[in-house]
Amino acid sequence: MSHDHDHDHSELSDIELRVRALETLLTDKGYIDPPALDELIETYETKVGPKNGAKVVARAWSDPDYHARLMEDATSAIAELGFTGRQGEHMVAVENSAAVHNMVVCTLCSCYPWTVLGLPPVWYKSAPYRSRAVRDPRGVLAEFGVTLPDETEVKVWDSTAEVRYLVLPLRPAGTERWSEEKLAELVTRDSMIGTGLANSPFHQGSTA
């Protein structure tokens, strides 16, 4: 699918058109109820996708060459692990450090790197998150339970139809000898959006 830089109108892929046509038809006939459908879909939102992203992050933490490739060309580095988008979105990895914390939003609509993160959480699509992430990122982070040192700069990245971001969170302290598989378990979905941090090995338990 070609993405020119024409943002005047929207474009749905052939498959999305087929799915929407079916939804309209089944709704008209009374066989499906869109609010109930949305509710059902929300129960899937944490499924599989975040695990793909977690593998990418764990590999980048463990393998300096992979890390370099990811920062250089995230689309290809992610494809190396077998995760490819169907619409050829361009992926960019942004790395957290003591100096910079990255956070991703899509102010315009709700573009989301679902190839690596699965279905977007409901709040990601919500108007308050979209409008406040840019204006008051620290306030939004605080609501997610994340407080950063004053000297850490917060950078907010606005996704578009062409570019999707993956946050590479800080590797938690105390994980020096950990295997990639074990590291991946510490990588939460929210840490890859930048609204959370990777779990600490000392108090694991967050599921998001």
Identify each DSSP E strand in 76-189 by its residue range: 90-95, 100-105, 153-158, 163-168
Candidate ranges 21-29, 61-69, 96-104, 198-206; the one touching other proteins (CB under 8 A) = 21-29
Check binding of 136 to other proteins (CB under 8 A): no
- Per CB under 8 A, the list member of 2, 15, 150, 173 interacting with other proteins is 15
Site size with other proteins, rule: CB under 8 A? 42
CA distances from residue 56 to 37, 83, 113, 167 in whole angstroms, order as listed: 31, 9, 13, 11
Residue 110 appears among annotated catalytic residues: yes
Structure tokens at 161: 């139809």
Candidate ranges 41-49, 95-103, 138-146, 183-191; the one touching other proteins (CB under 8 A) = 41-49
- 3-state helix, strand, coil split of the chain in percent (to 5) is 40, 10, 45
Check binding of 23 to other proteins (CB under 8 A): yes
Residue whose CB is less far from other proteins, 134 or 161: 161
- Per CB under 8 A, the list member of 12, 68, 98, 122 interacting with other proteins is 12
Burial code (b: 16+ CB inside 10 Å, e: under 16) for 145-176 equals ebebeeeeebebbebbbebbbbbbbebbeebe
Residue 97 appears among annotated catalytic residues: no
Check binding of 19 to other proteins (CB under 8 A): yes
Q: How deeply is 79 buried, as exposed, middle or buried, from its count of CB atoms within 10 A (0-12, 13-18, 19+)?
A: middle
Binding residues for other proteins, rule: CB under 8 A, are 7-12, 15-26, 29-33, 36-37, 40-41, 43-44, 47-49, 84, 86, 108-109, 114-115, 118-120, 161
Active-site positions read: 106, 109-111
